[in-house]
């Protein structure tokens, strides 16, 4: 597949909207996460709409709520907007309580489209890998960055993995998530180094 100028437009749009946003507890520009998710979906058979949605999957949640979704629909079409909406656990400010949001999102995966499952899985793969890397550098203090704390975060990733295994999600990508979640669980039992840096999910 050859990507069209629509993908270029989405990349610039995502970069502009997230320009002032960093990964949790770090100096890493947020666009690094979006590029990683887009790469993962493309490596697992995504079409252009799915790749664009991967770039934009956090826009509604982090950069403007429902009005941004309407803007995405106008600029990139209804299918991209539908995928982005399916990857969004909240479009309001303030957000509902963390556990409530996450339980609702997990339940939603039972009926989400294959395109939503693809982007969701790629998102969680990159986030879990980032937490593993951060835990190795920062140790247990990394959990202070997450509303769910250590136990809540581990619970969430286990449940998302279980939900995705029951749905038509690319098997190779699901296994990448399984590996990342297993490594995340194992890393919590090892002594960390003392470097300072972090990304979040």
Mean pLDDT within 172-185: 96
**How far apart are alpha carbons 196 and 180 in whole angstroms?**
21
Residue 38 has pLDDT above 60, yes or no: yes
In the predicted structure, residue 150 carries a pLDDT above the cut 80: yes
Q: Is the pLDDT of residue 191 over 70?
A: no
Query: Is residue 39 domain-resident?
Result: yes
Q: Say if 76 falls within a structural domain.
A: yes
Length of the chain: 201
In a domain, 192, yes or no: no
pLDDT in tens, 105-133: 999 999 999 999 999 999 999 999 999 99
Q: Region 11-38: what's the mean pLDDT?
A: 94
Cα torsion 77, 83, 84, 86: sign: positive
198: in domain = no
The pLDDT-based confidence of 95 (bands split at 50, 70, 90) is confident
Domain for residue 145, yes or no?
yes
Structure confidence at residue 201 (pLDDT): 46
Whole-model pTM: value is 0.91
Question: Across the chain, what does the average pLDDT equal?
Answer: 92
Beta bridge partners of 29: 22
Nearest to 58 by CA among 26, 94, 32: 32
pLDDT of residue 197: 36
Active site members: 61-62
Q: Has residue 38 been placed in a domain?
A: yes
pLDDT classification of 193: cutoffs 50, 70, 90: very low
pLDDT for the residue numbered 190 = 58
Q: What's the pLDDT score for residue 64?
A: 87
- How far out from the chain centre does Cα 25 lie? 16
In a domain, 139, yes or no: yes
Provide the number of structural domains found in the chain: 1
3-state secondary structure of 96: coil
Taking only the tens place, the pLDDT of each residue in 40-91 is 999 999 999 999 999 999 999 999 889 999 999 999 999 999 999 999 998 8
Domain holding 42, by residue range, is 5-187
CATH number for position 20: 1.10.3210.10
């Amino acid at each position: 597949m050859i990507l069209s100028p629509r993908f270029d437009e989405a990349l610039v749009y995502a970069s502009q909207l997230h320009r002032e946003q960093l990964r949790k507890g770090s100096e890493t520009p947020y666009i690094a996460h979006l590029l990683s998710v887009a790469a993962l979906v493309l490596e697992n058979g995504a079409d252009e709409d799915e790749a664009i949605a991967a770039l934009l999957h956090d826009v509604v949640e982090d950069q403007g709520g429902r009005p941004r979704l309407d803007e995405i629909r106008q600029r990139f079409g209804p299918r991209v907007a539908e995928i982005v909406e399916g990857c969004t656990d909240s479009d309001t400010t303030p957000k509902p309580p963390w556990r409530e949001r996450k339980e609702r999102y997990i339940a939603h995966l039972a009926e989400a489209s294959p395109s939503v499952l693809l982007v969701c899985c790629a998102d969680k793969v990159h986030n879990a890998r980032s937490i593993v890397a951060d835990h190795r550098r920062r140790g247990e203090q990394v959990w202070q960055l997450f509303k769910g704390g250590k136990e809540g975060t581990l619970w969430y990733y286990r449940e998302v993995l279980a939900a995705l295994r029951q749905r038509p999600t690319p098997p190779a990508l699901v296994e990448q998530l399984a590996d990342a979640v297993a490594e995340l669980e194992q890393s919590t039992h090892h002594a960390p180094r003392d470097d300072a840096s972090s990304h979040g999910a």
